[in-house]
Amino acid sequence: MTLLMAFCDYLGNSVKDIVSAPRPCSPPVRRVTATEDEKENAMEYGLPSSHALNTVCLMGYLLHYVLAYGEHGSVMIAAGLSLAFLLVMLVGIARIYLGMHSLTDVIAGIGFGFVILAFWLAVHDHVDAFVVSEQNVASFWAGLSLLMCFAYPKPEFPTPSFEYHTAFNGVAFGIVYGIQQTYFHFHTPDAPLIFSPQLPLLAFAGRVLVGIPTILVVKFCSKALSKWLLPVMCSTLGIPIVSSCYVPALKVDNSKSKPDVKQGVGYLQRVFSLFPQKAFDVDTGIRFVQYASLAWSVVDLVPAIFTHLNL
């Protein structure tokens, strides 16, 4: 499911930035943004609606999972389809009500979501088998993640879409790396389920109290470490970098001339000189590392701690 959401995020945001269709004009449309995150979200382009697209894929895949692996009758099928339809409609109406999307954006998101969902249902068993049992999965996915960072369209005007994609890209890599390493230890179908005799409510509460702080600590530490380590590595290798947010010393002052870049003759610097960018944003790497570490801790580190503590 996580890989499906990452796939939706990449394709949806790529189409947004390729089409560069603006959101409804405000005014005359009254746009409701109650938080800073919503204001940042409003800076993205409008078509297709990511919320509608993601809701179709999420609800469709969850419904498929329940019907494929659980006991069900005609009543459950009807209830599941009704709930999925209701949530998709409510999300679409809400996006229009909030002034974030037009009806065309929402319809495009729903239609695109059905196309992605149909494709994913055709390949998800193959993806699952590849991640769990094949060799060199981590190396392959690391290369794929790097490719997806470079193979991303440049929009007409800057938007936060690429930042969201980088974070989800990191989560997908962390999940794949952790699952590939620990599937037969922690994630087989025999793993204990909540409310079962093997995992009573008290033990589950203990897992929450231990697991969530651990995940947050891993995310904080990985961000702090990568903010220090990645600039040092890039400087050593002669890769020109800037920072838009995380590293104040590397921020570009637009009032000044272009930043001086260390001129080396290393092989990597000659390779990177072939790309159109004059310098690379190190924040992309920092963001990728912190979210990859977060996801890895969820499926690898935290279950190992639970096993050690007998939770």
Q: Which residues are catalytic?
A: 51, 101
Instruction: Please check whether residue 247 is in contact with residue 233, taking contact to mean a CB–CB distance below 8 angstroms.
Output: no
Instruction: Please check whether residue 127 is in contact with residue 3, taking contact to mean a CB–CB distance below 8 angstroms.
Output: yes
Q: d(Cα 13, Cα 47) in Å, to the nearest integer?
A: 9
Q: d(Cα 294, Cα 218) in Å, to the nearest integer?
A: 6
Instruction: Please check whether residue 52 is in contact with residue 106, taking contact to mean a CB–CB distance below 8 angstroms.
Output: yes
Which residues are CB-contacts of 274 (< 8 A; sequence separation ≥ 6)? none
Question: Of 155, 31, 53, 45, whose CA–CA distance to 108 is shortest?
Answer: 53
SS3 for 173? helix
Backbone angles phi, psi at 96, to 5 degrees: -70, -40
